[in-house]
Amino acid sequence: MIDRRMFRNIDFWMILATVALVGIGILMIGSATHINTPSDDRYWYVQRQGLFALMNFILILVMLKFDYRILGSLGNVLYGINLLMLVAVMFVGQSALGAQRWIQLGPITLQPSEFAKLIMIISLAHLLDAREDRMKSVWDLLPVAAFVVVPFLLVLKQPDLGTSLVFLAILLGMVFVAGIDGKLLLRIMGAGAACLPVFWLFLKDYQKSRLTVFLDPNVDPLGAGYHIIQSKIAIGSGQLFGKGLFNGTQSQLNFLPENHTDFIFAVIGEELGFVGSVAILLLYLLLLYRGVQTAKQARDKFGTLLAAGITSMLAFHVLVNVGMTIGIMPVTGIPLPFMSYGVSALTTNLVSIGILLNIQSRRQKLMF
């Protein structure tokens, strides 16, 4: 059992926000899916999402028994395992929708790039924790950038542009907290913006098409722009209070693609309306706020970096996913945390919450 003294420091607001998001997510997946499930059961996705959510909540309870600082000693080992997983995808991975990102283990399909994000946070926190110097020059930052660029390129090759961009968001968030010089960070971001035209040359045709239709979806309304157009129609038709659960025409009549995964927020907008959408965004805001507080209150630098990396990852996911469903971000295939269907993503996010709770519960010495 968990030491009762730890309950004095448990972040119950974070638990409440997480449970609420997972519960609403399962409900919305049930509303969004009604055809084309792997079996004849309409609630096949709901059952799997619910089962793995329960398993992961149990895992979180087990995680609370162990000090998060154990992860620091495993940083280099986890980094090596991370690279092996991503390389394995290249040789034994399964392909779908033009990408090779999944590994089949019996009845379970895993996406190693999802786990790679959390492993990168842990191993990068270990690396930055070991560096006592403040990063004031590009030369100080190069070893850190090289550490991230290898898994970044392996994920980009799958190809998975969305997840590879998450690596950059994690890197920026963690080096900022680690104490990078502000002027240096601005110069790096400026240099990155200047290199965007070169980056364009390395994109695949479908990735270029997504960026083009982001500027004007009507250039290909039945192709690359179809997702954005249908998503905005769904959200707009929800108006203030929505059409009600299981009453969304865009999702129920199958106009909205990927409605139980990448575009789950469009289903929320149509069926729960503006009020429901704002309520869910407030839950995310509460979760992210508690993540920032956890980083500030951590008892050591490693815990601060770990919490900062997890919060950066979740914030980027919410920003990009919600942004792409309302047309202010390109479509990148980044799932909405705790809401989109996906066993690998759900596991990664809930284990991340478990780590945050662990850091928060140990922010000070346990008192009798």
Q: What is the pLDDT of residues 29-84, one digit of tens each?
A: 988 886 666 666 778 889 999 999 999 999 999 999 889 999 999 999 999 999 99
Q: What is the b/e burial string over 311-327, where b = at least 16 CB atoms within 10 angstroms of the residue's CB?
A: bbbbbbbbebbbbbbbb
pLDDT of 212: 79
365 has a pLDDT exceeding 60: no
For the chain, what is the mean pLDDT? 87
308, 177 Cβ separation under 8 angstroms? yes
Model confidence, pTM: 0.92
Residues near 135 by beta carbon (within 8 Å), at least 6 away in sequence: 141, 144, 175, 178, 179, 180, 181, 184
Q: What is the pLDDT of residues 81-119, one digit of tens each?
A: 999 999 988 888 776 655 667 787 777 778 889 999 999
From the list 122, 30, 110, 109, the residue with the least C-alpha distance to 74 is 122
From the list 304, 294, 340, 309, the residue with the least C-alpha distance to 168 is 309
Could you say which DSSP state residue 99 is in? Answer: E
1 has a pLDDT exceeding 60: no
pLDDT of 196: 76
**Residue 347 token pair:** 């596991």
Please report the sign of the dihedral spanned by the C-alpha atoms of residue 157, residue 71, residue 316, residue 243: positive
pLDDT of 336: 96
238, 269 Cβ separation under 8 angstroms? yes
Domain ranges in the chain?
4-361
